[in-house]
Amino acid sequence: MSLTLLNVIVAVVIAIAFAAVNAAYLVWAERRGAARIQRRPGPNINGPFGLLQPPLDGIKLMTKQLMIPGGADKILFMVAPVLAMAPAIMSFVTIPFSEGIAAHNMELGVLVIFAFASMGAMAILFAGWGSRNKYSVMASVRAVSQNVSYEIPMLITAITVVMTTGSMDLKEISMAQSGGFWHWNIFPSLQSPLMPISFIIFFICSLAETNRAPFDLGEAESELVAGFHTEYGSMGFGLFFMGEYANIVIGASLTTILFLGGWDCPFGMFPGVWWFLLKIYLLIATFIWIRWTFPRTTIYGLLNLSWKILIPISLFNLLLTAGLLKVF
Amino acid sequence: MGGYFSDIFYGSKSLLIGMGITFREFFKPTVTVQYPYQTLKMSARFRGHIELIADKEGKPKCVVCGMCERACPSGCITLGSISIEIEVDGKIKKKKVLSKYDLDFTKCSLCGQCVENCNFGALEFSKEYNLASTRKEDFHFNLLKRLEERNT
């Protein structure tokens, strides 16, 4: 694929538009979903089913004044929201939505996405440090320790999948799973019988990576005001939110590609981008469902889960897969 | 080691039970009243501010005995009366008629002593609860005027 300037611009515009629309309407879906679980109707005044709520929220955020607290590190303070948003959008470039729909297919797609995802932690640290607010600093330190400890099992499970597929190319990984749901990586195979557990570990880690409840210690409202974005108003806050929701979409897409066969149909019919979208939105619905079911964990519970349960099991799984790949 | 795995197992199980509960709640109907568009019907024993009860002709049943005024611990009721002359069986009789019933709702504690003390059944609690204003004068009710407004 030749990478002309026009290609780049079109890809970037589509990625930004996709991320922005998703961010806006996932907030709506989140609010409606939360409301339904709590037996409320949710936003339903603006437009049919409250569908005009996200654009109106956007207008409200954009018209608000951008405040920089006194004593804040101005450069870090301004850079942080952009740094939260930009890697999320960059990650969209490598994601293949279907066989023909991919902005730029890279041989090291898995690695690229993880590299960009790890920049999210830096944005949180900048935001917390730059706002010169003790709650923000505490929250960002928590969020970073959480991100670091959950990246390990996530990477180990990703390596397991890469080992069984023999490629780091996201497109090849999903192509290798085509032809019915029994070919998907989530189903145990001879080479790696613990794949469903890998899937669960990966899913938990992608929940934790996006700093969402029950792992939202970075923005624990009851303890730390609003966490690392306490001092952010207007579109700075908006960018953090867009970044968070874009990361959710990335996490769901990555889970779909690595474990659920990408754009492959479960019954081997009509493979296409719709199956991919259906799968990621089902995963996102599960994200929302989980968020509104469980209370927030403690920081100890969170780190114990990662270091005592997820990392040992994923390491064991990696070793088992490596051994079985040699045997079969 | 056995404890380790059973912890994981029972922990995951309880998480799934929790998710099952929220999944069921998701499909149940909502119970919220959409307040400005929908309102609840107040129960029979709801105590709002007091209101005069009209007789068959639409006049207040009140005979201006003043028991409510005296019973009020907050002193928020002010009565006024005028004497009118009416003819009963060819004789001219004097009768007190209510000319003013002011309720200062800013002081009212909704104890209901006025309603309890009324021997003529002339007072009741209204079901009004949408009482909000930025001026305290809005809570000085002229109950006589409110009665006339209700009659028309």
> Would you say residue A2 has pLDDT above 60?
no
Task: Report CB contact under 8 Å: B31, A39.
Answer: yes
> Would you say residue A276 has pLDDT above 60?
yes
The C-alpha atoms of residue A171 and residue A96 are separated, in whole angstroms, by: 6
**Position with higher pLDDT, A179 vs A135:** A135
pLDDT in tens, B15-57: 899 889 988 888 888 888 888 888 888 888 888 888 888 888 8
Task: Report CB contact under 8 Å: B32, A290.
Answer: no
Enumerate residues 18 to 47 of chain B having a beta carbon within 8 A of any beta carbon in chain A.
18-19, 21-23, 25-32, 34
Do B80 and B87 form a contact (C-beta atoms < 8 A)?
A: no
The C-alpha atoms of residue A249 and residue A105 are separated, in whole angstroms, by: 18
Say whether A270 sits in a helix, a strand or coil: coil
Q: How many CB pairs under 8 A join A and B?
A: 36
3-state helix, strand, coil in chain B (%, to 5): 30, 25, 45
pTM of the model: 0.78
- Provide the pLDDT for residue A93: 79
The C-alpha atoms of residue A184 and residue A43 are separated, in whole angstroms, by: 38
The answer to whether B82 contacts chain A (CB < 8 Å) is no
Question: For chain A, how far is it from start to end, CA to CA, in angstroms?
Answer: 35
Structure tokens at A246: 């874009």
Q: How confident is the model at residue A268 (pLDDT cuts 50, 70, 90)?
A: low
The C-alpha atoms of residue A234 and residue A68 are separated, in whole angstroms, by: 11
Task: Quote the radius of gyration of chain B (alpha carbons, Å).
Answer: 28
- Provide the pLDDT for residue B92: 82
Query: ipTM value of the model?
Result: 0.73
pLDDT in tens, A81-111: 888 888 888 888 788 877 777 767 777 888 8
> CATH classification of B50-151 is 2.60.120.260, yes or no?
no
Tell me which chain B residues have a C-beta less than 8 angstroms from the C-beta of A36: 25-27, 30
Half-sphere exposure of A21 (CA within 13 A, CB side): 6
Mean pLDDT of the A268-294 span: 84
The C-alpha atoms of residue B145 and residue A219 are separated, in whole angstroms, by: 56
The C-alpha atoms of residue A11 and residue A16 are separated, in whole angstroms, by: 9
- Provide the pLDDT for residue B17: 92
Q: How confident is the model at residue B58 (pLDDT cuts 50, 70, 90)?
A: confident
> Would you say residue B143 has pLDDT above 60?
yes
Cβ-count burial of A264 within 10 angstroms (0-12 exposed, 13-18 middle, 19+ buried)? buried
CB atoms under 10 Å from CB of B8, counted, come to 14
Angle at which helices A311-327 and A195-209 pack, to 10 degrees?
A: 140
Task: Quote the radius of gyration of chain A (alpha carbons, Å).
Answer: 20
Sheet with B77-88, side-by-side order of all strands:
B77-88, B91-104, B140-142
Place of tokens 């066969």: A261
A285: nearest CA partner in chain B: B23
The C-alpha atoms of residue B52 and residue A184 are separated, in whole angstroms, by: 76
> Would you say residue A1 has pLDDT above 60?
no
**Position with higher pLDDT, A272 vs B126:** B126
pLDDT in tens, A192-251: 777 888 888 888 888 888 877 788 777 777 777 777 778 887 888 888 888 888 888 888
Mean pLDDT of the A242-263 span: 85
Do A131 and A233 form a contact (C-beta atoms < 8 A)?
A: no
Q: Residue B35: CB partners within 8 Å, gap ≥ 6?
A: none
Indicate the domain borders of chain A: 68-327
Half-sphere exposure of A171 (CA within 13 A, CB side): 15
- Provide the pLDDT for residue A3: 62
Task: Report CB contact under 8 Å: A38, B25.
Answer: yes
pLDDT in tens, A194-209: 788 888 888 888 888 8
